[in-house]
Amino acid sequence: MPLHLPTMKDTLRQQLERLALRLQELDALLADPQLAGDMARYRAVAREQAQATSVVALYRSLQRREHDLAQSRELMNDPEMVELARDEVTAALADVERLQSQLQTALLPRDPDDARNAFVEIRAGTGGEESALFAADLARMYLRYGERHGWRSEVMSENASDLGGYKEIVLRMEGDNVYEHLRFESGGHRVQRVPATEAQGRIHTSACTVAVLPEPDEQAELTLNPADLRIDTFRASGAGGQHVNKTDSAIRITHLPTGIVAECQDDRSQHRNKAKAMAVLLARLRDRERDERQRREAAQRRDLIGSGDRSDRIRTYNFPQGRLTDHRIGLTLHRLATILDGDLDEVIQALAAARAQQQLEALETGA
Instruction: With respect to residue 4, please indicate whether it lies within any of the assigned structural domains.
Output: no
- The angle, 0 to 180 degrees and rounded to 10, between the axes of the packed helices 39-75 and 10-30 is 140
- pLDDT score at 365: 66
Does residue 3 fall inside a structural domain? no
Give the phi and the psi of residue 217 in degrees, each rounded to 5: -65, 150
Q: For the domain that residue 84 is a member of, what is the CATH number?
A: 1.20.58
Whether residues 91 and 141 share a domain: the answer is no
- Tens-digit pLDDT profile for residues 283-308: 888 888 777 766 654 443 344 344 44
Written as one letter, the residue type at 229 is L
In a domain, 286, yes or no: yes
Same domain, 93 and 135: no
Q: Is residue 300 part of a domain?
A: no
211 and 317 in a single domain? The answer is: yes
| pLDDT the model gives residue 364 | 67
Claim to verify: residue 146 and residue 18 sit in the same structural domain: no
Contact 42, 29 (CB under 8 A): no
Among residues 261, 293, 325, the one where a domain terminates is: 293
Residue 366 domain flag = no
238 shares its domain with 200? no
Residues 211 and 235 in one domain: no
Please list the ranges in the chain whose pLDDT falls under 70: 1-7, 197, 199, 217-223, 236-247, 293-312, 363-367
Residues of the domain holding 155:
118-215+312-358
Contact 154, 148 (CB under 8 A): no
Are residues 144 and 61 part of one domain? no
E strand or H helix that includes residue 2: none
**pLDDT value at position 306?**
46
Secondary structure in 3-state letters for 5-52: CCCCCHHHHHHHHHHHHHHHHHHHHHCCHHHHHCHHHHHHHHHHHHHH
Q: Where are the alpha helices (DSSP H) in the chain?
A: 10-30, 39-75, 82-107, 128-148, 178-182, 270-296, 336-340, 345-365
Quick one: 229 and 244 in the same domain?
Answer: yes
Domain total in the chain: 3
Element housing 331 (H / E): strand 331-333
3-state helix, strand, coil in the chain (%, to 5): 50, 20, 30
Q: How far is CA 104 from CA 8, 62, 108, in A?
A: 9, 12, 7
